[in-house]
Amino acid sequence: MTTATRFAAVQMCSTADVASNNRAIEGFVREAAGLGATVVSLPEAANILLKDNIQYAGICVAEDDDTTLALCRRLAAELRIWLHDGSLLIRTEDGTRIWNRTHVISPTGEIVARYDKLHTFDVKLGEGHDFRESRAVQPGEGPPVVVDLGASNVRLGLSICYDVRFAALFRVLASAGANVLMIPASFSPVTGPAHWETLLRARAIETGSYVVAAAQCGTRDGVQTHGHAMIVSPFGEVISSLGEEPGVIVADIDPAEVEETRRRLPGLTQGRDLRPTMTVFAGSLS
């Protein structure tokens, strides 16, 4: 017998001011816990967002010195919650770039898992929206990560933002037992309206999993983010969402619903091994 676990997804507008961001995080986490959430997720880059990403290596600090991580550990222990910090931007060990890193923190304040963003947002959207995240962010090289929360039967599959476009990652996570896909983001205002909800619902539908997608919103230093944090059911329905303002959403997540959805739509177990692609040259019309 499984019981539902209340999740919260936070939407915030992080800036270059880490202290201000920390105050916002503390307020939102306390609000979420007050709403009964025992698992709380922050968005990508919760600790700091800069206009020019090449500045991160000179401003971000090592993990042991990051005040946001220390705050999250303290809040998790005080409130007795699981705290998924979305991602924090952490200086790499050689100081040349940063990690875009998720931490999962237990109700005792212990860091039980880390995940470094695998796919960096290197795109050519045009009209001033080209972006090369890899200038600042060292791509992760570790394996996909699933975090088993124990008696609740909740198992988190970790990812960050641009990872959402790489469906194979989520199939691997779900096949390894993940039933809640965590997709914290700071999504582009160009791709957000066209792709954000579609991608989140697709990842839920393809794997029969819940999706919890905390998000950055608003404009800082002329840089805009999409917002629209949401929680999606294993059947692909949006069960809770926000618009473009900071806030908190909650939803009760039941692992039994994942089991039932996967029983009805067993796509995870029905995939077939594909043979090498055959290309047929059919000639020209002339």
Active site residues: 44, 117, 161
Distance CA 159, CA 147 (A): 12
CA 111, 62, 166: angle at the middle one, nearest 5? 65
- CA distances, 30 to each of 5, 23, 27, 78 (Å): 17, 11, 5, 10
From CA 46, how far away is CA 43, in angstroms rounded? 6
Residue 254 CA, distance from chain mean position: 19
Looking up tokens 């997720």 gives: 41
Query: b/e string for 203-229 if b means 16 or more Cβ within 10 A?
Result: bbbbbbbbbbbbbbbbebeebbbbbbb
Cα angle at 222 between 218 and 226, to 5 degrees? 30
Dist. CA 226–CA 249, nearest whole Å: 16
Q: How many residues are recorded in the chain?
A: 286
